[in-house]
Structure 1
């Protein structure tokens, strides 16, 4: 009796732990008695002798070994699928990590910047420059990697500093002119950039002025707590043999025409590092000397001929004065059409002072012609302080031969001393 109870208990435990109905059916077949098996056989024969109906056909249960093999196959397939999903998630995680800032809890990331100028296309209120920008930093996630990549989309393989140019009119990143070098975590990124940066001239000293152009570089989103910018190896490099500046009317302003600096600027509640690269260019004034200044001085000298022409030949003297005045007006008008004068019209420049001073000397010569002619043909005029002196037109003309050139000579001495000394 006890054995029967143990047998029944064992069968109940097996049924509770079996997840498959096929295994339960197989165990049920094992516990049948001979009489039960005989009754089942007779029932099966009777069903076989009956006519065929639309009842569904009963599929015999598979053996236990088959169920076990299928189960193991399904479990193995599910395990492989989980591994593939885990591998994809890991690759995605690595890609997301390498495209984020390499966080260092102890100190910010040091980013070195270096500009290598290739060419300067033009200088005006803006300067068009082409240069190569080298950026270096350290990424500990790439410390076991050594690689070199070049060409388009190179900057998409890893995290890149978000550098941008402040106050730039336009920035053009040249395609297919970039490369990325990785040497055990030491990152080097180089790219060619064409930039239009603002320049500040000195309108008063035009055309003897110095034009200052500034390039400002900073991080767009990361403050000083995350990244630290600095100039690497001096920050600027330019070929010493570069002489194309002369073709655009400029030259380097002395031996220290390029210099760099940095400044910390607060924006909101954060501080950002701004790198400054300054370029100074001296305008070549020889073209203005030959085309405007010297012709203006020659017109003034020509106007002096009225002092030596016969005082009685008034039409000839007046004709020379009028011609000189109209010629100087033409020079001043051409100066306003100068390509570089569009930002100089708001202030008076040294060039304007020279032209209008020459115009004043020509007017004085014309006034002397009119005054001397009036004194000769009209009544004598008395001048003086407290005493009367009769001055003839001829005496005025004779004295003008020395006074007017002397005044013009003194003006030129003062003008050129100021132009080259300040």
Structure 2
């Protein structure tokens, strides 16, 4: 009887021991199927009193999962296969020990894409524009610039790195610079680099801008065109970010002399200048940087193609004063031809104008063309009056009671030979004096 009781007690303890060992193994496999990050997080968040023996054993052997399995009882073949699969899954999810420089840099800069808040606030950001090329100048002008931004980020104080190429601006926090009133802005992704040297940040990127320009319609084509670039921070006011022009603000890599191909040249007065202003928007103040470019239009082509031909037509119209007064058809033909040619010139000028904006305003070029047109019209009227006075019975025009002399057709033609050239010369003196007075 005693022997039977001992056997029953032994079998009972054997089954209890086997059940506990199997539960511990299953718990171990459950822990091994978790990612290393999850096991570490559970270990850190759990207190020693709350951790079970299995959890403590697995956490203690986290760096070497195989050692954790050694402390358990010897598994069967099925259990061993499941254990091998769990170990393989853990090894596949672990981060490789060797990482490239780009991955290490990316980890270093991870989480630094927010505003670097520090006691040195507000952040001073230096802005510099380097002109590469000018594509066109009109009411809108197209430029290619290199935008250079410099600032300090204390979070990268121990980092020295240089990166170039696409997506470089995603490795760190970048100033949210935007261009006010710009028609279009194109950031070229392949042409950018980021240099970090002990927290001193330097970002450079090529951009294409289309910005508004303000010509002087009245002085066209002797006007000066002013193009202005306005820059500011989009979301941060002066309590967070302050912009300033670094170095000279505007710069050229070399002497730029390609403007003649688009019909302009640099202004003789102020070809470039920069300003910095604080403007209130809503309840906050924002720093706005402005850069202006001034160009003088090349008007020589207008002189050769429009002004000189118009003046020549006026001079040709004077030949009617020297043609025999009795040859009316020849005199009329010259006057009509001059009038039609001037109308053609004025029509072509409207079609060839640089922009529709200039077509809506009266310019100095219009004044000169229509003044020449009036001189030709008056010459034609003189032909009509002199012909009327000599046809049929000769007629005379009285100059008034105080004057005894009467004007005849021949006298009118003779006087016109002096009066018309003198008036046209006086008009040109006044016109060109005004053009060159500014």
TM-score by length of 1: 0.82
SS in 2 for 1:343: helix
SS in 2 for 1:421: coil
Count of matched residue positions in the alignment of Structure 1 and Structure 2? 373
Q: Sort the Cα spacing of 1:201 and 1:79 in 2 relative to 1 into closer, same or farther, 3 A.
A: farther
CA contact 2:138–2:355 (8 Å) conserved in 1: no
Aligned position for 1:138: 152
Aligned position for 2:43: none
Equivalent of 2:354 in 324, 340, 349: 340
SS in 1 for 2:227: strand
Aligned position for 1:273: 287
Aligned position for 1:323: 337
Q: Bigger CA drift: 376-385 or 61-70?
A: 61-70
The answer to whether 1:40 aligns with 2:5 is yes
Q: 1:327 deviation in Å?
A: 0.2
The answer to whether 1:383 aligns with 2:383 is no
For structure 2, the residue ranges without an aligned partner over 5 or more in a row are 29-51, 64-89, 96-104
Equivalent of 1:208 in 222, 226, 247: 222
The answer to whether 1:305 aligns with 2:319 is yes
Aligned position for 2:304: 290
SS in 1 for 2:358: coil
Aligned position for 1:186: 200
Aligned position for 1:24: none
Q: Sort the Cα spacing of 1:92 and 1:77 in 2 relative to 1 into closer, same or farther, 3 A.
A: farther
The answer to whether 1:357 aligns with 2:371 is yes
CA contact 2:139–2:355 (8 Å) conserved in 1: no
Aligned position for 1:398: 414
SS in 2 for 1:98: coil
Aligned position for 2:49: none
For structure 1, the residue ranges without an aligned partner over 5 or more in a row are 1-34, 48-57
Aligned position for 1:251: 265
Aligned position for 1:59: 15
Equivalent of 2:248 in 234, 237, 240: 234
SS in 1 for 2:242: strand
Aligned position for 1:3: none
SS in 1 for 2:201: strand
Q: Report matched runs for 1:107-186 at 5 Å.
A: 107-186=121-200
Question: Which whole-Å CA distance do the structure 1 matches of 2:154 and 2:316 have between them?
Answer: 78
Question: Which whole-Å CA distance do the structure 2 matches of 1:80 and 1:421 have between them?
Answer: 91
Question: Which whole-Å CA distance do the structure 2 matches of 1:39 and 1:125 have between them?
Answer: 110
SS in 2 for 1:309: coil
Aligned position for 1:367: 381
Cα-to-partner distance string for 1:376-421 (whole Å, 9 max, x where unaligned)? 1253222225445321110110010010000000000000010011
Q: 1:74 deviation in Å?
A: 3.4
